[in-house]
Structure 1
Amino acid sequence: MLASENIMTFKSYQNRANLFVKEYLLADSLIPYTSVVTGILACKMVYELTQLIGTSYFKIYSSFSKIQRIEWNNRAASTMHAIFITSMALYMVFCSNLFSDYQSTELITVRSSSLSTFALGVSVGYFIADLGMILWFFPSLGGYEYVIHHLFSLVAVAYSMLSGEGQLYTFMVLISETTTPGINLRWYLDVAGMKKSKAYLINGVVIFISWLVARILLFIYMFYHVYLHFDQVEQMHTFGQLLVIIVPLVLSVMNLVWFSKIIKGLRKTLAKRQ
């Protein structure tokens, strides 16, 4: 009898919790705000967990300088965000019917859903947290190019989240986060003294391939998609149109500059092994 009452009580609390999440946390009007807070808190949680794990399980962690430990923790949050948003972006662009030309008569540039908005909000939360870290420890965690990259990304993603415009193109650009785990792993291997290891070389090749696909070829495809649907892009607000065109262009230039550095670095690594 007592067990039955406990089960009923538990189910009652569970129903209330589900109702709270559905009616408040995931209410359409609140999703942009709850998702941003979720993104910031997730970054904080990953940062703290990484610090705890590093202190407990990695002997090399204690030998790092203060700024190296901060970067170690910060890159873990960066990696987790990259995995999350890349997965969501790939699903939204290639698996979901939300942006399919054949599933709706609604303009492709104004389509959105609770899930797509939530995912973008989490990303906004990450960019806010990471930009704050970069500025606070400037220039230790990244120079002006990182500030520019994050500012453009933050404005574009936030606008898309709040307005519902251009979410397809925002997700296309966010697929470029595919390269982030490899870049972070390269840093981890470097500070761990494994720059001459086979893992470092393999990671370099993976970075080259993923960068070529996600930050060069995919951007070309995105511009082609914009060209094909430019009549719909023109119906967006002026600011939205500018973001759809200017932000990817700026990021493309930065991607090409970084790609040239990746090629030089890979060549140098391969030359040393011959």
Structure 2
Amino acid sequence: MAIKAYQYQAKLLLDDYLLADTFIPYTSVIGGVLSCKMIYNLTQLLTPWYYKGYAGLTKLQRVEWGNRGTSTAHAIFISIMALYLIYFSDLFSDSEIDGRIMLRSSSLSVSALGVSVGYFISDLGMIIWSYPSLGGMEYVVHHLLSVVSVAYSMSSGEGQIYTLMVLISEMTTPCVNLRWYLDTAGMKKSRLYLLNGIMMFFTWMVARILLFVYMYHHMYLHYDQAEGISSFGFFLVLVVPFVLAIMNLMWFRKIIKGLKRTLAKRQ
């Protein structure tokens, strides 16, 4: 009886507090930060079991190993959530008549964006703390823009469809991280490294180049529904993805050069 009473109290807490609309942004952000810490610790704890060379890595390499494990987990989570919310749920469907598409949100979309805010805050903290070993100024700018735009969209409910579209680009992260893992493990000449490079090229082209073109085309078609969005929200919807698109093109150029070098060495 005592156990059932505790379970009932826990359910009430979950329903009335943690899942209440006003608390979803806070609990999801905190949950995102705590999840990052947990995944980072698990990555460092479990890696020596399947990679014997882990003990020989430098301290900074071990930190980056755990950091990339966290970013991979976040990328998988937010990519799945964004794809579902945009293309498989009815939340942003054109047939949906419940409000303008640029002002639609749900408890699930707010929760997903909150977890992402928690991740970007955690990762930005690690980048600044270890600067510049985990990334240069371009990573700082990228994460600052991400934190501001995602947090605003989460809290205001404005432009969530486009925020989620931009977050789909995180699906390229696992390939980027696997490339670093293989390089660090001395597997740069392996077939897996080559296949991952090819996969990284195609996923980057689709998720970080073509998707951004589609997003702006979608904005153009639904521009008449922008009424009701604040000036700051409209600025974030238009400008932040554009800045990120420029950075994506710069990184894509480096990916093409790297792939060309790898293919040339294989001939």
Displacement, 1:12? 2.6
Aligned residue type for 1:117: V
Match for residue 183 of structure 1 among 149, 152, 176:
176
Contact 1:32/1:117 (<8 A) preserved: yes
Q: Distance in 2 between matches of 1:265 and 1:149?
A: 22
Q: Which deviates more from structure 2 when the two are superposed, residues 51-60 or residues 261-270? A: 51-60
Show the counterpart of 2:100. 107
Name 1:156's counterpart in structure 2. 149
Matched, 1:81 2:78: no
Runs of 4+ in 1 over 4 A off after TM superposition: none
Q: Who is 1:11 aligned against?
A: 4
Instruction: Give the corresponding residue for 1:257.
Output: 250
**Structure 1 portions without partners, runs of 5+:** 1-7
Aligned pair count?
A: 267
* Counterpart in the other structure of 1:117: 110
Task: Map 1:1-274 to 2 at 5 A.
Answer: 8-274=1-267
What amino acid does structure 1 have at the position aligned with 2:151? Answer: A
Normalised to the residue count of structure 1, the TM-score between the two structures is 0.95
Q: Quote how far apart the aligned CAs of 1:234 are.
A: 4.3
Per the normalisation by structure 2, the TM-score is: 0.98
CA contact (8 A) 1:166 1:240 kept: yes
In structure 2, the residue corresponding to 1:244 is in which secondary structure? Answer: helix
Look up the SS of the partner of 1:27 in the other structure. Answer: coil
8 Å contact from structure 1 (residues 234, 241) kept in 2: no
What fraction of aligned residue pairs are identical, expressed as a percent?
A: 64
Indicate the larger mover: 10-19 or 142-151: 10-19
2:195 aligned partner, one-letter code: I
Which amino acid counterpart does residue 96 of structure 1 have in structure 2?
S
Using the alignment, how far apart are the partners of 1:259 and 1:16 within structure 2? 52
Which stretches in structure 2 are left out of the alignment for 5+ residues?
none
Cα distance between partner residues in 1 of 2:14 and 2:99: 29
